[in-house]
Amino acid sequence: MTQELQRFFNENEQGILEEILLHRRDVRGNHFKKDIISEENIDRILQAGLSAPSVGFSQPWEFVLIHNEETKEAVRATFQKENEKAVHQFSDVKKQEYIKLKLEGITEAPLNMAVFYKPKKEPVLGQTSMPNMGKYSVVCAIQNMWLMARSLNIGMGWVSILDPEQVKQILNAPSENQLIGYLCFGYTDMFYNKPELELKKWDYKKLQEEVVIQEKYT
Amino acid sequence: MTQELQRFFNENEQGILEEILLHRRDVRGNHFKKDIISEENIDRILQAGLSAPSVGFSQPWEFVLIHNEETKEAVRATFQKENEKAVHQFSDVKKQEYIKLKLEGITEAPLNMAVFYKPKKEPVLGQTSMPNMGKYSVVCAIQNMWLMARSLNIGMGWVSILDPEQVKQILNAPSENQLIGYLCFGYTDMFYNKPELELKKWDYKKLQEEVVIQEKYT
């Protein structure tokens, strides 16, 4: 491999990546528009997922593209049920904030995507000591798609208040598949300039010095 | 929020993100250079991590920056032990390929980083039905850092052939912390133009149609 083949990124390109990282948001149903996402853009989002790193190059992912309204309604019903259970877990103060939040955009988003981890029967290079690595590879694919979508000015929301087994049943998924993420994609009327839960003071933004440790814990 | 505050990304910027995604590689010790990574660049990488999405804005991450050679040697020893156990799990043909691969760059990389998931005692919004969501948030931070590093022309390798409990012990980590990724960062003499395990024919690159399902499984 010669030096000419190396891609060297410059200051301007680094700045563009930083802007995409900073402007990526979790988008919910109150901001999705109905406009269809073109096949070309769906392909660009999927290709971003397929270029993610995977442990031992196992690429242990499957992506189910969902446009069907009945499927979305069925998934939304499991959200509803799980969300009702969830709210009771929070303290009284938090509960009042919680119920005001719109936490998904399943039926409002023109495109839903269920992303599965498909375990392999054979051992996977790099996964022998840390069995979760395959699932983490799938998460890397989701994050790549999230960033690609944002660069295409398409919002994405990750819905995790769901019973994964119910979603598998709705999608007729093979029993060995494990749901990692249920994603909603669509154009938006706006993107918040900060995380919505930061703006709504659900929690504060941590500073770098709070989460960075030098060399080892004391 | 007015329309003026919205960041609209253009075709050129979308293309730059795609190039960063496509040129990101897992870098191992045979390609790391000794050159120090500046504080400024370490900060840019960490800030990319801190701008990752997190479930319920929980930001459940801690990042340990490791320059110390003794610490690296100790981590490398757990790699060695786990790797010797791992090789026996593969078939005879794969075993011969496996032992030829350089699978980490712990001591060669000027900077190592252990990334932990720190569970919260209180319930976390969005994590009530899918308890792994906090760990997945940490993976999103790792993927953001990986991409930021690549844009800075810095290589990163994710080492997963490790005993996570050993690493915690070496770093004196709190018992509730869970190791998600052990990362090696450094400048490189080259980046492969495709995943190394693809070039070395460990496995083939999956096509989009192999992993994309329309609407539901049949």
Does any domain span residue A129?
A: yes
Mean pLDDT of B37-66: 98
Does any domain span residue A20?
A: no
Taking the CA of residue B51 and the nearest CA in chain A, the distance in Å comes to: 6
Searching chain B, which residue's CA lies closest to the CA of residue A67? Answer: B215
Does any domain span residue A60?
A: yes
Q: Identify from B103, B187, B217 which residue to disrupt to test chain A contact, counting A C-beta atoms within 10 A and taking the largest count.
A: B217
Strands A61-66 and B212-214 turn out to be parallel
Position A2 scores a pLDDT of 45
Average pLDDT, chain A: 96
Searching chain B, which residue's CA lies closest to the CA of residue A179? Answer: B130
Mean pLDDT of B138-144: 98
Residue in A9, A50, A130 closest to B20 by CB: A9
Distance of CA A50 to the CA centre of its chain: 14
Residue A38 in contact with residue B27, Cβ under 8 Å?
Answer: no
Q: What is the CATH number of the domain that holds A124?
A: 3.40.109.10
B16 part of contact set with chain A, CB < 8 Å: yes
Does any domain span residue B19?
A: no
Global pTM value: 0.98
Whole-number Å distance between alpha carbons of B35 and A189 = 46
Does any domain span residue A93?
A: yes
Does any domain span residue A211?
A: no
Position A39 scores a pLDDT of 98
Position A5 scores a pLDDT of 62
Residue A147 in contact with residue A49, Cβ under 8 Å?
Answer: no
Residue contact B190–A146, C-beta within 8 A: no
What is the number of CB-based contacts under 8 A between chain A and chain B?
A: 306
Mean pLDDT of A198-205: 97
Does any domain span residue A188?
A: yes
Mean pLDDT of A83-109: 97
Residue contact A190–B62, C-beta within 8 A: no
Whether pLDDT at B2 is above 80:
no
Q: What percent of chain A has pLDDT above 70?
A: 98
Residue contact A215–B67, C-beta within 8 A: yes
DSSP assignments along B8-38, one per residue? ---HHHHHHHHHHHHH--B--TTTB--PPPP
Whether pLDDT at B128 is above 90:
yes
Chain B residues with CB under 8 Å of A134 CB are none
Does any domain span residue B72?
A: yes
Domain of residue A93, residue span: 26-199
Residue contact B160–A130, C-beta within 8 A: yes
Residue A33 in contact with residue A187, Cβ under 8 Å?
Answer: yes
Residue B166: band (very low, low, confident or very high) from pLDDT cuts 50, 70, 90: very high
Residue B4: band (very low, low, confident or very high) from pLDDT cuts 50, 70, 90: very low
A119-129 pLDDT tens trace: 999 999 999 99
Residue contact B191–A62, C-beta within 8 A: no
Mean pLDDT of A62-91: 98
Domain total of chain A: 1
